[in-house]
């Protein structure tokens, strides 16, 4: 593994809390794919971890509730032919998933009054369009 994977700020994925499992991967690779365990699956105990701040942990548990399996987040990677690269991919994906899940909620939208000029311009353009269409009736063009 190439060092700690940052979630956000100084918080990183703790290597000791990652559970790895490897299995045979489908896809290209010829005879090699039948004999080596290249697919990487990483499990992170989100419910039992002490490495995340309590607020982040609560937020992540709420947002990832549909992805949790017995309190664990599971990420699988099998697009590369080497186990090492699949490990890297899975760990990066897990860190990105946790970063997104622990991000603070966006600021609430504040309603603003529509400026008078915007409303007046809209009504003026409607009136002009109406006049253009009214002018197409053809009245007054005859003999």
Locate 65 and state its tokens.
């509730």
Higher pLDDT, 13 or 26: 13
**pLDDT bracket for residue 73 (50, 70, 90):** very high
The alpha helices in the chain, defined as continuous H runs, are 31-35, 54-63, 83-102, 116-134
pLDDT at 27: 65
- The mean pLDDT value for 114-140 works out to 91
Beta bridge partners of 43: 19, 74
- The mean pLDDT value for 86-104 works out to 92
Residues 6+ apart with CB under 8 A from 90: 40, 41, 42, 75, 76, 77
Strands (E), 18-84: 18-23, 39-45, 72-77
Beta bridge partners of 76: 41
Q: Tell me how far apart the alpha carbons of residues 72 and 49 are, in angstroms, rounded to a whole number.
A: 10
Terminal Cα-to-Cα distance of the chain (whole angstroms): 90
Beta bridge partners of 73: 44
44 touches 17 (CB < 8 A): yes
């Amino acid at each position: 593994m190439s060092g700690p994977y940052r979630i956000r700020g100084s918080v990183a994925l703790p290597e000791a809390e990652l559970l790895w499992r490897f299995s045979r991967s489908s896809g290209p690779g010829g005879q090699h794919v039948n004999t080596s365990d290249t697919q990487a699956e990483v499990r992170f105990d989100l419910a039992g971890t002490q490495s995340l701040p309590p607020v982040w942990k609560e937020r992540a548990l709420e947002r990832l509730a549909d992805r949790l399996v017995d309190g664990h987040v599971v990420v699988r990677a099998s697009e590369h032919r080497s186990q090492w690269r699949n490990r890297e991919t899975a760990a990066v994906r897990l860190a990105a998933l946790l970063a997104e899940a622990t991000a603070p909620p966006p600021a609430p939208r504040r309603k603003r009054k529509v400026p008078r000029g915007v409303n007046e311009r809209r009504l003026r353009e409607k009136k002009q369009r109406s006049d253009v269409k009214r002018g197409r009736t053809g009245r007054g063009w005859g003999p």
